[in-house]
Amino acid sequence: MTSNAGSGEMTGVMVEKDMREKHGFPPEFLNRLDEVIVFRELTRPEMKEIASKMLEEVVRRMREKGMELRVTERFKEVMAEEGYDRSYGARPLRRAITRLLEDKLVDMMLAGETKEGDSLTVDVDPEGNVVVHNRRAG
Question: Same domain for 131 and 101?
Answer: yes
Domain that holds residue 91: 45-135
Structure pTM? 0.69
Question: Same domain for 66 and 120?
Answer: yes
Buried b (16+ CB within 10 A) or exposed e, 23-37: eebeeeeeeeeeebe
pLDDT of 2 above 80: no
CATH value at residue 111? 1.10.8.60
- Count the domains in the chain: 2
Cβ pair 2, 22 in contact under 8 A: no
For the segment 3-16, the average pLDDT, to the nearest whole number, is: 49
- Which residues, at least 6 apart from 79, have a Cβ–Cβ distance to it below 8 Å? 51, 55, 93, 96, 97, 100, 101
Question: Same domain for 1 and 69?
Answer: no
pLDDT-derived band at 130, boundaries 50, 70, 90: very high
pLDDT of 99 above 90: yes
pLDDT of 11 above 60: no
Question: Same domain for 15 and 66?
Answer: no
